[in-house]
Amino acid sequence: MKWEYIQPVTIRFGEGIVKEVKDVAASMGCKRGILVSDPFFLTNGLADKIVKDSDGTLVCVYGEVSPNPEVKEVDACAKLIRENDIEFVVALGGGSALDCAKASATMCFREGESVRTYHGTGVPMPQKHLPLIAVPTTAGTGSEVTCVAVLSDHELGKKGPIVSNGFYPSIAMIDPELTYTLPPRITASTGIDVLCHALEGFWSKGHQPVCDALALHACEIVFKYLRRAYKDPQDKEARAKMAEASVIAGLAFTLPKTTSSHACSFPLTNLYHIPHGEACGLTLDCFARINAEVENGRVHEFARKLGFADTYALADAIHELKVDLGLRLDLKDFNLTDEQVAELVKTSHHPNMLNNPVEITDEILNEMYQSMR
């Protein structure tokens, strides 16, 4: 088995470290920055506070990022960066703000071009990019340490990742206090995303020992602390542990890549607007059962290390976790027609599906979606 582990992002973790953004930017020698965020942080005052604390270093704000950010938002943000001679980018928010910022930090060098050129087209993303400080506010995507930016293109009806080594942030600043304002529903959805990253990174065809160890650590934390963070948003220990699990799971999947649950999540979000993490979690226990027997039982062994009898017991535990978190267990409320099921089957064959250790056929997908109707 051949493998390589690289991780170019400096990670700083701790309660209150968001205050250090200015010093971190200064240490990078950057003087003119942009803050990229979503409307929640413009309304709750945190974006303003970060700009004020920056003593003039952050000279403008792009605050229009929507959940599952659109290619047009990237183009608009890249334009603002160009117009203001920006030298570095600070991304504040969930995966959506971080991903929009990552893509914009590259696209700002491509005047006259849209990010659409690189979205699901196979055209490699140019590498030149501005330095990025990523400040996550959800405990979910791990985007602060990944080389991935997931974008949506509503006109062309697609959602999917762009992968580029230029997307690695320079610095990830993880401040668990920023997650205290997450309502239980978003805590649940983003938290189950952490479990998907860890498990999919583990069973991915691209798995490797370093990421395996990270995946196990992240899964242990999710089973122990996610229910607590969901029940009590102010549970500081649970919030800190989930923030830790999120970044560790990001490291666990960014090299092996995600697999079947993420592939299915793209059309589930795009067509039925199911929030990202919830869409990934919807199929996670199904794929755990499908992948249970691969590679001499390595998924069973992983499940046993987590304290379960085998992968089937792990799948049951994922189901129970979703029940306790009030997450979606099926697609009944959409009253899917046969045509809609067929469309889901077809559009779930995103390239990430090819990373799954078991070949996922139309028949398997059809059976899974039929059982959820």
Q: Of these, 18, 36, 58, 96, which contacts ligand NAD (CB under 6 A)?
A: 96
Phi, psi angle pair for 249, to nearest 5°: -65, -35
Does residue 317 sit in helix, strand or coil? helix
Restricting to residues 160-219, name those near ligand NAD by CB under 6 A. Answer: 178-179, 181-182, 186, 190, 193
Token pair listed for 149: 């930016």
Give me the 17-46 binding string for ligand NAD, x by CB under 6 A, dash otherwise.
---------------------x-x------
| Number of shown-chain residues binding ligand NAD (CB under 6 A) | 29
77 lies in the binding site for ligand NAD (CB under 6 A): no
Stretch that binds ligand NAD, among 6-14, 23-31, 144-152, 224-232 (CB under 6 A): 144-152
Answer whether 213's CB lies under 8 Å from 7's CB: no
Burial of 229 (0-12, 13-18, 19+ CB in 10 A): buried
Q: Of these, 20, 73, 99, 285, which contacts ligand NAD (CB under 6 A)?
A: 99
The residue among 259 and 311 lying less far from ligand NAD, judged by its C-beta, is 259
The position carrying tokens 């969901």 is 230
The residue among 311 and 348 lying less far from ligand NAD, judged by its C-beta, is 348
Give the integer Cα–Cα distance in Å for 129 and 147: 12
The residue among 96 and 347 lying less far from ligand NAD, judged by its C-beta, is 96
Restricting to residues 275-304, name those near ligand NAD by CB under 6 A. Answer: 276-277
The residue among 104 and 190 lying less far from ligand NAD, judged by its C-beta, is 190
Beta carbon of residue 238, minimum distance to ligand NAD (angstroms, whole number): 14
Sign of the CA dihedral 278, 279, 281, 283?
Answer: positive
Give the integer Cα–Cα distance in Å for 293 and 289: 8
Give the integer Cα–Cα distance in Å for 269 and 79: 27
347 lies in the binding site for ligand NAD (CB under 6 A): no
68 lies in the binding site for ligand NAD (CB under 6 A): yes
The residue among 195 and 292 lying less far from ligand NAD, judged by its C-beta, is 195
Answer whether 17's CB lies under 8 Å from 175's CB: yes
Give the integer Cα–Cα distance in Å for 128 and 107: 9
Angle (CA) 335 336 341, round 5°: 165
148 lies in the binding site for ligand NAD (CB under 6 A): yes
Q: How many CA atoms lie within 13 A of 227 on its CB side?
A: 10
141 lies in the binding site for ligand NAD (CB under 6 A): yes
Among the listed residues 212, 218, 221, the one whose alpha carbon sits nearest the alpha carbon of residue 248: 218
Q: Of these, 106, 146, 260, 348, which contacts ligand NAD (CB under 6 A)?
A: 146
Beta carbon of residue 64, minimum distance to ligand NAD (angstroms, whole number): 12
The residue among 307 and 326 lying less far from ligand NAD, judged by its C-beta, is 326
Token pair listed for 349: 């064959």
> Footprint of ligand NAD on this chain (CB under 6 A)?
38, 40, 67-68, 93-97, 99, 137-138, 140-143, 146, 148-150, 178-179, 181-182, 186, 190, 193, 276-277
